A and B are shown apart, each in its own frame.
Chain A
């Protein structure tokens, strides 16, 4: 159905020029550095938080003071402390969703390409059905029936990314299968699973690495968005996406409760995206950059 996608990445270079290549290695380092900073903020933040994230320390929307650097939020909790606490959920959820999507998608795509026939047709058909749902609608539909559980949310988001990984792996594997060395491996009686793992897997690692970077960026956006809509981490726990929603009613009174987490989410997504984009250029397998292309 969705003829407009080949799975997010391609080994073909589109309009990459020498000038774009220059400084690519530098961009990879910038991406790694920025991602590391955001990971450190999210994972080590709680150690430095002056207050517990759900402690009420002052009236709602109190102005910044020595006790609370960014003022307090809609309940009178310390905004700065909640920002330091609210990143770890974004990190573990988006990393887990990406990992599940890549592992399961790669296995499905490999098997689908190698066995072919009816199984292959079935996998592609399931892909089409999954793609007919906007990702966010798919997740909300199942979450609302099965209960709001962060782990379930992660699994559903991972499912939503499956089509891109399956198509990507499948197309690279199909290309590799037709190479001579796979045929000769079959003739000398190498077991199928060993051909899959030993001969085909090395071919797909590069596009998969790039796809992992893209999916991580998109997962941050989608998961923070779902938390923003109220389907993710629940209060009184702190989460960047959730905080934006909690404090947006007080935007006119004290905007820090909204701006703080917005800046953190944007910085995290931009950091992983810089890394993914630069890696893609370096490895020659770029992704299109839009999460619609799943």
Chain B
């Protein structure tokens, strides 16, 4: 993606004219956007169902392993409803989903929703912490670099950001673990001992390294994005005019140029937060943090099918939700950007 193009990519309706017709088109667009989000989620549920229950492999066998006796296999098949036809199974499973019934965990024999809730909150705490740091930091750093474009500092930092983005997530996490928790500066807990029931927010020390890792793997992208859109805007006609009118450079940067970087930033942040949904699987494993990612790993280890389905669906729903929010925010931001004279 690039940065300056991202805003133009969604077909934002022409809302500049703010007539009744424009408003109507805008709400139609929003409804369409919501509809497509729902459709994607429906399709996702089919994929999850297909992956877990409809594949040629026998889920009961997959869960119980090769040593399972035929009696056990039959009992489990019955419990999972595998003796029914596939469409019937899907409808049954999906109507349960709509009622908030995600099934019963095979490992803990408890309702999946009860197990999922606290884990989800912990992962959201991690994501929220990351977002609260990464977005303001990226704006600051991006503006800073754009104002110093092509000086040696800008070039060095830019090369560094590219390098950090090339590093695998677990490598970044393990390096932080090595540096801050074990060998060099043993100041932070290496593995989090947050009990699964407790919230991550009540254990701030345990959150530090996971959040630091999350920020490190996402901020470079956003910094580069802000820098690029700032540079593009600073070279535009209307900024040149503002300079001619004698407006102070500081004011030009923050009041005139920065708003134009916001739309790409909204899209970029949504992309990074969606990415972090996958990232938590690795981060939580590295730091033994009790969130959704750990739950996914456990579900695989214990072959806990209902949990596997629920967690995969939650991840996908999160991605769809982040994208939807970003698109709605973009719509809301666009008219204001127009009136401030920015090129989209």
A interface residues with partner B (beta carbon < 8 Å)? 1-8, 10, 12, 14-15, 17, 19-20, 125, 128-129, 131-137, 140-142, 144-147, 217, 220-222, 224-225, 228-229, 241, 244, 248, 251-252, 255, 258-259, 262, 265-266, 269-270, 272-273, 277, 288-293
Contact B40 A128 (CB under 8 A): yes
Say yes or no: A19-B150 contact (C-beta < 8 A), given A137-B281, A269-B167. yes
Say yes or no: A288-B221 contact (C-beta < 8 A), given A134-B315, A255-B178, A258-B174. yes
Residues of B within 8 A of A229 (CB): 170, 281-282, 285, 297
Closest CB of chain B to A165's CB: distance in Å? 14
Distance, CA A248 to CA B218, complexed state (A): 24
- B171 interface neighbour in A125, A266, A273, Cβ under 8 Å: A266
Distance, CA A1 to CA B59, complexed state (A): 31
Contact mask for chain B residues 269-308; partner A; CB cutoff 8 A; 1 contact, 0 none: 0111011011101100100000000001101100100001
Interface centre among A12, A222, A262, A273, by most B CB within 10 Å? A262
Distance, CA A137 to CA B150, complexed state (A): 39
Contact A3 B167 (CB under 8 A): no
Distance, CA A243 to CA B166, complexed state (A): 20
Closest CB of chain B to A251's CB: distance in Å? 5
B316 at the interface (CB under 8 A from A): yes
Residues of B within 8 A of A225 (CB): 168-170, 282
Closest CB of chain A to B292's CB: distance in Å? 9
Residues of B within 8 A of A129 (CB): 40, 43-44, 47
- A132 interface neighbour in B232, B285, B316, Cβ under 8 Å: B316
Say yes or no: A10-B10 contact (C-beta < 8 A), given A133-B44, A225-B282. no
How many A-B pairs have beta carbons closer than 8 Å: the answer is 213
B194 at the interface (CB under 8 A from A): no
Distance, CA A7 to CA B52, complexed state (A): 29
Q: Can you list 25 A-B contacts with CB-CB less than 8 angstroms, sorted by A residue number?
A: A2-B271, A3-B9, A4-B323, A4-B326, A5-B1, A10-B1, A14-B228, A17-B149, A19-B155, A20-B150, A129-B43, A134-B315, A137-B281, A137-B311, A137-B312, A141-B48, A141-B312, A145-B57, A145-B62, A146-B57, A221-B171, A225-B282, A270-B166, A290-B275, A291-B165
Residues of B within 8 A of A266 (CB): 167-168, 171
- A15 interface neighbour in B37, B167, B227, Cβ under 8 Å: B227
- B166 interface neighbour in A5, A241, A258, A289, Cβ under 8 Å: A289
